[in-house]
A and B are shown apart, each in its own frame.
Chain A
Amino acid sequence: MEEYITSYFAAFISACIISYFRIYSSDKFHNYFFLIVVDWFLVLNCIIYGCISIGLLYLLKDNVVSIPVNNTQLNHYLYPIGIGIITKGVADVNFFNVKTDGFSIPIGLKTFTQPLDKFFEEKFDGVCFEKSKVYMEAYLVRYRHELLTNYRNDILRFKAAIILKLNSFHPDKKKTGEFESSLNFTKAISVDETLVLVLREFGPTIFNSIFPL
């Protein structure tokens, strides 16, 4: 009995860790991750995928996939940990899509996990938006003032100064070049937009280097 519990626990934990790092490394949330790092929705997302891995381990408990056994302690946990790691991949299995009313609906396990992922994505966006407003407040006050005093309200000069700083702080010159020529940056007409863009594209470490308080 204890053996089963530890196996399910190992699968649960590994699925939770994978789920956590999947969001951490996602393009959409990587640079905002510091705002949701201890958020309840993130914890809930990890727990749900942990529970799915328990269900998957239960279905595959007869070792559908076999791992050569040496009867070591490590090997005992390899199978449930493996199941935990592949949980997200299995949950995203999509056999085909059905198009109806202009919408494309995936058919497979993704039928259930896609709405779940979209729900969490929407919640993370909401939390990040609210928390980023609070986080940015002090920076916006300072740099709106700086635009008026040091740059004579010339947003183009302000943006040029940011690109210079980015070139010295960010190691990837290609990314800085792409950022400079991006539609969002070229069309940005205020300090607020510019600061939001830098945080979004380069994350809090570079942001704090360029905009010290």
Chain B
Amino acid sequence: MDLTKAILNVLQKLNKPIGVDEIAFRIRSTSSVVKEQLEKLSEAHLVKRIDADYSIDDKARNSGLKSIYNY
């Protein structure tokens, strides 16, 4: 599972906004690597930022995520 899928998987499973450190911990990566990826996902409107936390973008949850999880 690549980094993008792992991040989205964690955010969707927990279904609440969580911080970069916790995402990094849960996917056994590092905060800087995860932060870089989250910024890309945020630009692609797949995740949204709420203060210091991130969660799945509501529109992405309803539409595009299924194709990303094709594994």
Q: State the A residues within 8 Å of B (CB).
A: 28, 101-104, 118, 122, 125, 128-129, 132, 183-184, 187-190, 192-193, 196-197, 200
Main secondary structure of the interface of A (DSSP, over half): helix
- CA separation between A193 and B29, bound complex, in Å? 9
Closest to B28 in A: A200
Q: Tell whether, in the assembled complex, residue A192 and residue B28 are in contact, meaning their CB atoms are under 8 Å apart.
A: no
Residue of A nearest to B67 (CB): A102
Interface set of B (CB-CB < 8 Å, partner A): 13-14, 21-22, 25-26, 28-33, 66-71
A190 vs B21: C-alpha distance when bound (angstroms):
13
Can you pick out 10 interface pairs between chain A and chain B where the beta carbons lie within 8 Å of each other?
A102-B67, A102-B69, A118-B13, A122-B14, A125-B26, A129-B21, A129-B25, A187-B30, A188-B30, A192-B31
- For B28, the chain A residues whose CB sits under 8 A away are 28, 200
Verify A102–B14 contact, CB threshold 8 A: no
Question: Are A183 and B33 touching (Cβ within 8 A)?
Answer: yes
Please, which residue of chain A has its CB at the minimum distance from the CB of B25? A129
For A201, the closest partner residue in chain B by CB is B28
Complex interface: chain A residues within 8 A of B29 (CB): 184
By beta carbon, the residue of chain A nearest B65 is A102
- Our pick among B26, B30, B70 for the contact of A129 (Cβ within 8 Å) is B26
Residues of A within 8 A of B32 (CB): 187-190, 193
